[in-house]
Amino acid sequence: MNAELHYRPATAADLDEVVGFPQNVDELFFCYPKAVWPLNVGQLAAAIAERRESTVAELDGRVAGFANFYQWQHGEFCALGNLMVAPWARSRGVAQYLVEVMETLARQRYKAPLMKVSCFNANAGGLLLYTGLGYRTVGIVERRAPDGSRVALVQLEKPLP
């Protein structure tokens, strides 16, 4: 793991920064499909309230990434959600680090033998990240993009040792 990266629980003070991570409608759709552009603190706070383990990654002392679980079943699985990385921190290992942190939290706190992720077909970076970390496709379901067009939501899973 990158020695410059650290993680901690997200706090209310982080929200102003995190809402700026998605740079356009597509990026917001990829990380938080139910949100309305532009992401604001109210929308993110609502997501945090109904999710678990909202976590930030810090790079060089700055908030660089955010993720949480949108589903969790103790002893069964956790599902990763809202994964987003600050524009200035992209291509620096933040997303991989954060996925690995969330896998550890799933194992340690939820005794989860399985992590689930979902990724839209147009999110090449996400698909490459997850498959590179050992996630395998288990399903594809139809969803609608903000413009109403059909998109494929690729469902992936990874056993957690």
Which residues is 152 bridged to in the sheet? 142
Domain membership of residue 141 (yes or no) is no
Q: Is residue 151 part of a domain?
A: no
pLDDT one digit per residue (tens) for the chain, 161 residues: 567 999 999 999 999 999 999 999 999 999 999 999 999 999 999 999 999 999 999 999 999 999 999 999 999 999 999 999 999 999 999 999 999 999 999 999 999 999 999 999 999 999 999 999 999 999 999 999 999 999 999 999 999 98
- Give the domain CATH number at 102: 3.40.630.30
- 143 found inside a domain: no
Q: Does residue 94 sit within a domain?
A: yes
- Token readout for 161 is 């040792």
Q: Is 100 a member of any domain? A: yes
Tell me what pLDDT residue 1 has: 55
Residue 146 Cα distances to 27, 70, 151, angstroms:
11, 20, 10
Task: Give me the sheet containing 136-144, strands edge to edge.
Answer: 5-9, 52-59, 62-73, 77-85, 114-120, 150-159, 136-144
Q: Is 97 a member of any domain?
A: yes
For the chain, what is the domain count? 1
Q: Has residue 73 been placed in a domain?
A: yes
Structure tokens of 7? Answer: 């993680």
In a domain, 85, yes or no: yes
**Cis bond before residue 38 (omega within 30° of 0):** yes
Residue 68 domain boundaries: 5-113
